Structure 1
Amino acid sequence: MSIRRVALALAAPVCAFAFSIGLSSLVLMAFGTNPMDAWTEMLSYGTRLETFVETGNRATPLYLAGIAVAIGFRMNLFNIGVEGQYVLAALLAASAGAAVDLPPILHVILIMVVAMTVGSAFAGIAGYLKVSRGVHEVISTIMLNAVALAAVGFLLRSWLLDKNDTTLNMMTPEIPPSGQFPHLNSLVETFTREITRGRQLWGFMLVSLAVGVLFYAFLNRTRAGFDLRATGLNPFAAEASGVDPAATVVRTMLLSGAVAGLIGLPEVLGQAHRYDLGFTRGLGFTGIAVALVGRNHPGGIAVAALLFGWLDSSAPILDVVGDAPREIVSILQGVVVLAAVVAYEVVNRIRRVAEARDAATAMQHPTETTDRSVS
């Protein structure tokens, strides 16, 4: 790989992050806050081991959300319904896990299968509507989000509610220990120090890494993955070569929904061991930003998820020391997404111009050689 290609690959994220820091600093100055003090406090707090553990926990579901969105993006499908798919899947998976008592590994596998099945089936509805009725997936998935969240509210108040709970926090029954995912504290402490403040690194991080590897292998090492990428690049050429566009659309939505179903499991299996009103929402929409910043590549999505996770984990210190409101992190995340999209497009245009210039130069050399031989 040439130095120019490496420079172009690094230019977009570096410029986007620098622009985001600069614009956020201007916002801080407008509110009478010294940007250097705020960034120094965030950096000091964000480099503690406990903050890194929290970053990993926040990045794990964000990475899964980014992968779920990226699967659709690679085929020019916009699965906006990841939010509803993972919330509904988490509720039903937690209820199924609490209703049975199986050996540890089988118990966890059952919960994961239920979550993936629910997410896949719910996303498949949008895929079916697109190929059979021509309903755009953005419209259908947005509507299905509302259906899923309403269904979660109804089920949690009625059929799936823990009848033995006497608090005001509606929740499902607790998952038995055999269905809980172990943490990775002992592994981390082997190479660092003891993790304090009751923090635990969720073991589901290993599952998310496996999902990323499988996603990369699927796209680049399987026929179905090639069909998906080909259809996303040029659907007409893909159809002319024998790819069934309808089947590819449905298959892509099913796969995206299956990964979306896993988003809520790190919290359900690693911390809460049930679904309750405190369950984290909004990860599906944040996953869109993570996928955009990561350019729909498993490696880039991992970097973006860690960045967003670190910003979320470091933000509380701003409220504590009073340097700035923690909402500045939300501004920073939004600017990162916007700047990344613009920077990537600018870099792509520069790359295309350079490639066209190189191609024109390469075509001129044979002509010059022929002229010399004739003379």
Structure 2
Amino acid sequence: MSRPPRVLARLDREKLILALAAPLLSIVTAVAITSLVMVITGQNPFSAYGVMLDFGIKSDSQVWIINKAIPYYLAAAAVAIGFRMNLFNIGVDGQYRIAAFFAAVVGGALSLPGIVQIPVIILVAMACGAIWAGIAGYLKATRGVNEVITTIMLNFIAGSLIGYFLQADRLGELDGVIIHTPDIPESSFFFEFPTTPDPVYGTIVLSVLTGVGYWLLLGRTRFGYDLRAVGRSEPAAEASGVSVKRTVVTAMLLSGAVAGLVGMPTLLNESGNYGNDFPEGLGFTGIAIALLGRNHAVGMGFAALLWCFLERTGTQLEFEGYAQEIVDVMQGIIVLSVVIAYELVRRWGLRRQQRMVGEELARAAAGPASLTKEKAKDKGVSA
């Protein structure tokens, strides 16, 4: 039974209102709780917000925020692929690190033209990330091993493996107190967008392409539909002809391939090698950003920028006498507020839609019945 056009119009309007209500509620809640924490600790929240805003809108801060958001967004996209089918890929941190390490080793060993070597480095990173995540996917599909356990263990194995090979007498070389892989030729560095005072990393193109591919693959293809179907109900998906095991493995491979890109902004735009000072923990930050952006391609972009804005302005707060930990508190409160607000709004909207549809169905069912009664009454009077 199709819904009446009036019901569809009301549902669309309700959906738009709910889509706006959830982020507004989360922002108001986060600001209120953060302000309360500052007041309790004897700090002025309005002064802190003013410092953050003034420092955050400076040109050098904006460039820093954009460059820092690139790997965060890629990490969030890798995590979100698993989240869309209720797979918790906690191993993005290990996947991007081992991918960046072997990509740096290959890049430092080759002397090809940049137009050839850059794609080779990127493909090696994606392949390594996919293989490392595929181990967890295979164990999940064939042995039923929980992916949280396997991906966490693989994080430790990845760190140990990198530590073993990153030695001066193996695949590394000593540079002062830093041990790193051989440098990648400067011709193999990614391009940069000239801006003042610092350039914007060209690897932002990778994040944009990843976001577009994520949106198209998961939202506009049969595979994306199958992936979401498996996440909602494996028995129902299996009954409809979807191979749950194949979907699980494929999703983990894709998640790992995207995770392999997380280290590329650092490798191809900053360091040119992988050393023991290579950034760690980006995968875990990606989990928070994926939750903050609700696994949406555009939402995760804004979430990454917001996260980097807080990190950047938090350093200035410390100079102004505020505790550095206040930024960590703000980030945690924002994530919790978003998750709770969206869930509350989702439940309220679901009950609201059910009630609206029920009222319309009852009205539609009562219409013919009341008409029949009126006709029967008219016949009785005429008789």
TM above 0.5, yes or no, is: yes
Range that drifts further, 92-101 or 218-227? 218-227
Query: Residues of 2 paired with 1:313 and 1:326: CA distance?
Result: 11
Range that drifts further, 26-35 or 345-354? 26-35
Tell me if 1:139 matches 2:137: no
Question: Shift in Å at residue 369 of structure 1?
Answer: 1.9
Task: Provide Cα deviations, 1:148-167, integer angstroms capped at 9, x if missing partner.
Answer: 111111111252212xx440
Question: Shift in Å at residue 28 of structure 1?
Answer: 2.1
Q: In the alignment, what sits opposite 1:293?
A: 292
Range that drifts further, 32-41 or 106-115? 32-41
**Which of 39, 49, 53 matches 1:43?**
53
Q: In the alignment, what sits opposite 2:6?
A: none
Whether the 8 Å contact between 1:66 and 1:288 is mirrored in structure 2 is: yes
SS state at 2:180 partner: coil
Query: Residues of 1 paired with 2:88 and 2:145: CA distance?
Result: 12
Task: Provide Cα deviations, 1:272-322, integer angstroms capped at 9, x if missing partner.
Answer: 111122211111011111111111111111111111111112211112222
Q: In the alignment, what sits opposite 1:263?
A: 262
SS state at 2:318 partner: helix
SS state at 2:121 partner: helix
Q: In the alignment, what sits opposite 1:345?
A: 343
Whether the 8 Å contact between 1:64 and 1:263 is mirrored in structure 2 is: yes
Q: In the alignment, what sits opposite 2:73?
A: 63
Task: Provide Cα deviations, 1:114-167, integer angstroms capped at 9, x if missing partner.
Answer: 1001100000000111112111001111111110111111111252212xx440
Task: Provide Cα deviations, 1:65-99, integer angstroms capped at 9, x if missing partner.
Answer: 11100100111110000010011111111111111
Q: In the alignment, what sits opposite 1:151?
A: 161
Tell me if 1:178 matches 2:187: yes
SS state at 2:111 partner: coil
Q: In the alignment, what sits opposite 2:353?
A: 355
Task: Provide Cα deviations, 1:155-180, integer angstroms capped at 9, x if missing partner.
Answer: 11252212xx4401111111101210
Whether the 8 Å contact between 1:101 and 1:178 is mirrored in structure 2 is: no
Question: Shift in Å at residue 3 of structure 1?
Answer: 4.1
Q: 5+ unaligned residues in a row in structure 2: which ranges?
A: 1-8, 375-383
Task: Provide Cα deviations, 1:213-272, integer angstroms capped at 9, x if missing partner.
Answer: 011111122222221111112211110011111111100000000000100111110111
Task: Name the aligned partner's letter for residue 336 of structure 1.
Answer: I
SS state at 1:170 partner: strand
**Which of 346, 363, 366 matches 1:365?**
363
Q: How does 1:1-375 map to 2 (within 5 A)?
A: 2-157=12-167, 158-162=169-173, 165-185=174-194, 189=195, 195-196=196-197, 199-322=198-321, 324-374=322-372, 375=374
Query: Residues of 1 paired with 2:13 and 2:45: CA distance?
Result: 34
Query: Residues of 1 paired with 2:149 and 2:160: CA distance?
Result: 17
Query: Residues of 2 paired with 1:56 and 1:111: CA distance?
Result: 23
Whether the 8 Å contact between 1:231 and 1:238 is mirrored in structure 2 is: yes
Query: Residues of 2 paired with 1:276 and 1:12: CA distance?
Result: 42
TM-score of the aligned structures, taking structure 1 as reference length: 0.93
Query: Residues of 2 paired with 1:172 and 1:27: CA distance?
Result: 45
Query: Residues of 1 paired with 2:175 and 2:157: CA distance?
Result: 28
SS state at 2:277 partner: coil
Task: Name the aligned partner's letter for residue 136 of structure 2.
Answer: A
Query: Residues of 2 paired with 1:341 and 1:280: CA distance?
Result: 27
Query: Residues of 1 paired with 2:182 and 2:176: CA distance?
Result: 13
Give the total of aligned pairs. 362
Identity %: 44
SS state at 1:335 partner: helix
Task: Provide Cα deviations, 1:315-366, integer angstroms capped at 9, x if missing partner.
Answer: 11112222x1222111111111111111111001111111101110111122
Alpha-carbon RMSD? 1.4
Query: Residues of 2 paired with 1:200 and 1:321: CA distance?
Result: 28
Whether the 8 Å contact between 1:86 and 1:119 is mirrored in structure 2 is: yes
